[in-house]
Structure formats: structure tokens, C-alpha cells
A = this chain, B = another copy of it.
Amino acid sequence: MRNKTARKLPEKLLHGADYNPEQWLDCPEILEEDIKLMKKAGINCVSLGIFSWSQLELDDGRYSFEWMEDIIEKLYQNHIYTILATPTGAIPPWLSAAHEEVLQVNEYGVRNYAGNRHNFCPGSPVMRRKMRAIDSKLSQKFGQHPGVIAWHISNEYGGNGRAADCHCPYCQEEFRKWLQEKYGTLENLNKAWWTTFWSHSYTDWSQIHSPSERGENVLHGLKLDWKRFVSHQLLDFAKEEIAAVREYSDRPVTTNMMGFFKPLNYFEWGKEFDFISWDNYPDWHSEENEFRVAAEAAAAHSLMRGLKKAPFLMMESTPSMVNWRPVNTLKRPGMHSLSSLQAIAHGSDSVQYFQWRKSRGSCEKFHGAAVDHKNGENTRVFGDVCEVGKRLRNISEYVWGTCSHAKIAMIFDWENWWAVEDVCGVEKLDYKNLFCKYFYPFWEMGVNVDIQNMEGDFSDYQIIIAPYNYMYQKGYADKIREFVKNGGCYVTTCWSGEADDTDLCFLQAHPLRDVLGIRTEETDACGAAWDNQVSYCGVSYQVTGLRGIIHRETAEVKAYYEKDFYKGFPALTRNAYGKGCAYYIAAETEIAFLKKFYQNLLEEEGAGAGFAGKLPEGVTVSCRNDEKKKLWFLQNYNRREAVVILYKKYFDIELQKDVEGTIEMQPFSCDILLEEPGS
């Protein structure tokens, strides 16, 4: 029913911000100024009502919607849309005071006191009841208002900086039920979790308890299932919120995700929402240059786009600095436009901010905002916001309706994330960072990449890259086998295919032994004393992490170790299989190796970027297209000017003129070039 009945978002790029007028209701001159400055800045939508529960339900059952009605109405009159939030991001003191059960219990069995945010127990019946009541009231009141264009369900679910999970008796009970449904019998569960180890065999469902430092913390199967349950349970809560607002409203629903946020399996979540939105806070200016951070932001955008293979909204970003890092650096001139357009380049149909106006008190008062405490419109930052507003308005007609498309998919899988970082052995791995390292050279070459989990539909892709795919979901090996058989190219690394979906090790052989054409034996992790290199295409590359020790079977050896007792052993293999082929990267190396390998791979597979130009270091390009045109977003992340050489003529949609030969790009800048068929 959902996707059939939901309206669509307006057909233009959005420029908006989280708006908290409830903090200023006694300052009408502030609310007045807000509207004035929003119009000046080209703001065409706001996110309203996030954290407003206290103001909407003053006490149990005593609702107060008038202020919100006024705001929505006034915004609407000024041509500013409202994305309306359900207020469950934080619960009011009166609720937890009356019903302690709505508060989370931590892994030590201790219930939190009231406070903070995202502080509710998703298993509490009282919490569910009160959530349904306020959500459906809100929907009834505003769900058909012409100014309201979408629902913003709660806020950054799970994002309380402590723990996304609750260990209260309700949640224990729900967990056990979930396990019963999954495993049917205790025997199955005992087998899947390998509970004969350390005498952990359960004889009654009631013996099962969530993982805890106080108790069970070694049964990987339990820990993995708990993480699945936590994501599932919170999603179940979200689905009940969705149902509540849909009772009276046909507006599309979203929730603001957080990119690489480990506790929630966003691929599962994406299915339940009408469109994806997310909050984007790259750590700009924190390193010697911006390249790694920019590539990671590109990966996060691509991940969010991949959830539905569709455009999304960037629901939050900061116009300047954040306030929660150890060091909070101001965005340098140009960076606000550049990072906003990076989002657009990778599939966002909006640039939205947290926050419109800095709050006066409490813990986010120094977070960046379009409007600061003291200077009104008279700030550098407000100027930057106005500029973005203007640019979005100018490019909207070109951009809206296009999306990014890729021939290459990289596998990023939440369940693998949980499993591979919980491994006890070899050495601690940071899956996200490793993944981003394997993504980086594509970003550098300006090659669009889709990101999918193991359950994705791979039929559109030519190449699949699956780094550190330690755990294989059921059916994954067969799917890859088919993919390669049919002509696909599969690239994977050491420490993949080790365990199944309950973290039981595969016996006998690597599940893709035939496809990869190798036999795996050992995995070495070393300190500095065991320096090693890999030889590839005549060049030596430094080994920087794990060292898989493997034996070639049907594969060709493309690179080998230079030292140690596995000197001469394969470090990279290629195996022809069916109509396709499969690569195995046994050694973790410096990134230069990856770049060289990817270049060779793209050449071999004919899967290059497609942009007719030469990019200097720190300049990349991303493409959005529809059936009629391509838009190339050229991005210069250098702190100085850079020159791009064009091999053909493009049309700069902002300058509204043809460009050819060379383009001189300003520091931290983005140029958008149109390529029309045949041009």
C-alpha cells in the first residue's frame, strides 16, 4: 500500500534546515527574522518538530499544536515547505517520570535515568502506546496540510552516543521470541552458536540473555544475532511510527540516517521508507589535505544512494563547523559550496542543514548554523548559505530527475561489519576504513561506484569488489558463482569467506575455491619486525596489513610476496571462470598497489570513468545522468587552484557557456559540466 499511495516530493532541488521555533516562541521578533532570512538564503523547506514532544504534549494527554500550526502556516505562506518530524527523538520528563519502563536498560542491567536523547526502550508497551498517540495526532492535524511535503520519522534512530540497544526484561523477551522464530528449536540454536564450546548449551529459552560484559561476551553467534535483533527491533518501532502517520496522511516517509552507522542495517531499513535521507558530517580540514575525507564522504553518499538505487535527500549538514569533535574547524571559503555540491553530485536532491539558528542553551549551542547568536545575516557563513541557495536554484532544472549509475559495485554489508569486527583472532580490523581504502582509487579516478550489500541485485554490474567479506550470507557464494560464470569480474581479498551467517567457520574449503582457483591456508598478522613487500608488474609495494598465505590451483599468480617464509607465494591471483574471472588479493598493501591494480582492471574490463579530460591530483568528477544527458560535477579539493584539461567541449550550466581546452578551478570549488548525446 505504502509505495502506491505515497505522494512524491516536489520536483526540484531542496534547500533547507532543521528549524526549532519552539525554542523562541517568546521572541516573536526572532521568528519574524527567521522568515526574512530564510527567504534571503533561498531556503525552500524546513524540518520541523524534531525533539518537540515536550512542546506538543505538555503533559500526559494534554496536547498543544497551535504554535506548530502557526509556524507551518506562516512558512507555507512564504513558500517554504515543511518536512514534519515525529517527536520521538527524545521523550519528555513527564513520560519517564510516570513510566520508568520507557527508559533504556544498559548491558549491565542498569536502567538509565531520564535525559539525553534517543533514550527510550523500543520494547516498552507504554512507549509504543504514547508514540502511536502523538504520531497519529500529528498526522491527523497536519498530515494533509499543503505545506507539509514529507514525514521525518523520529531522528537519527539509535544515535544517543551510548548504545542503540536496550537490555530490559521486555527486550530480553522479544529477543527470545525473535530467536524462537528464527531457529525453531533450541537444538538448532545450540548448533548455530556452537554452544558446546565452553559448556554453553542452552536447555531452556529463558536461559538466553543479551550479550554483556557482565555475562556472555564470547559466543559470536549470540552477539551477531543480538545485533541483528537490535536493528530489527528498532526498525519495528519505526514501522509502527510509519503506520501511525499513514493513518491520516499520504505524504512520503523518510528517516534521517547516518551513513556508516554500525548499529542499524540500513539496507533492511531502506526498504520500509519511501525515500532515503541522511545526515552528512565529513571531518573537513582535519588532515594534511581533504582527499581521504572527500572520498569517504563520496562513499557514504554512494552507500545511501545504493539503499534504493535512487536519489536521496541530504537531510542534515553543517553550514560551518560541528561541535562534537575534539577539534571543530571552520569550513574554509569554498568548502561549503563544494561539499554541498558533492552531495548533489552523488545523488542528493537537497542540501539541508542542521541547524537553521544556533540554540541559546544546552549542548548544541555551538554547532554551526545558518544564523548565529549575534550577527544575523552579517556573517561569512550566512553568505555561504545564500550562495548555495542561489546555485541550487540555478541548477535545479538540469539536475532534478537525473541519478548516478555505475558499472561497478562494491560490497558493504552490515552483518559482515558486525561479524568481522567481532572476530577474536588475527588482528582487530576496521571494516569501514578498509572498505573506504578500496573505494578511494575509484574516487580518485572519477569512476562512479554503487555500494550494495550481499543481498543486492548484481545483474547490472560488470565488476564486483568485495573487500574483507569475512562472513558469507546464505546463497552469496552461489550468486557470485553465477555472476562470474555469466561474465562478471569478481574481486575479493584475504579474510573473506571464512564464516557463514551464524559465524561458523566454513569447513573443507573456501566457498569460492573453484571460482577463485586457489586454496587458502593461513593468515598472518605481524608487527614492524616482519617488514614485507609485494611484487606486482615489476614494482615493489609495501605490505601494510594482513597477509593471506594461499596456494594457486587453477589461478594465475599476478603478484607475489618478496620476503619471509611465504616469499614467492601469491599475493594477487586471477582465475578465469565461465565467461568471467575472479581476483583474489591475498596481501593488504599500500594504496598505490590498489591504484595500479584498478587501472589494469578497468582497462581490461573497459569500465573507465567516461569523462573526457585529465584530472590533476585532488580533483575528481562524478556523474549524474538521465536518458538524455550527463552532468559531470568537477570537484577541486585542493587548497589551491587546479587545472583540468578537457579532451572535448562541455557546457558549464552555471556559467551558461561552452568550455573547452582547460579549466582553471578555484580552491575548493565545483564546476558542473553538461554533456549531451553526441556532444
Contact = CB atoms under 8 A, between A and B. Distances in A.
B199 A97 contact: no
B93 A359 contact: no
Interface stretch (A297-305, A514-522, A629-637): A514-522
Interface string A43-67: 0000000011111001100000000
B203 A58 contact: yes
Contacts of A54: 195-196, 199-201
B328 A426 contact: yes
A90 interface: yes
A507 interface: yes
Contacts of A549: 330
Contacts of A170: none
B285 A217 contact: no
Most buried by B among A327, A502, A549: A327
A36 interface: no
A212 interface: yes
Nearest to A422: B363
A217 B116 contact: yes
Number of identical protomers: 3
Nearest to A333: B565
A303 B348 CA distance: 57
Max chain B CB contacts within 10 Å: which of A58, A109, A286, A363? A363
Nearest to A88: B199
Given A204-B94, A328-B525, A530-B285, A508 B374 contact: yes
A612 interface: no
A109 B365 CA distance: 29
Contact of A204 (B97, B109, B115, B524): B97
Contacts of A92: 199-201, 203
A504 B359 CA distance: 9
A481 interface: no
Interface of A: 20, 22-23, 51-55, 58-59, 87, 89-94, 97, 106, 108-110, 112-117, 192-204, 206-207, 209, 211-212, 214-221, 285-289, 320-321, 323-324, 326-330, 332-333, 358-367, 372-375, 379-381, 423-428, 502-510, 519-522, 524-527, 529-530, 549, 564-565
Closest 8 pairs between A and B when the two form their complex, measured CB to CB:
A194-B361, A113-B215, A115-B216, A366-B425, A323-B425, A197-B362, A218-B363, A115-B215
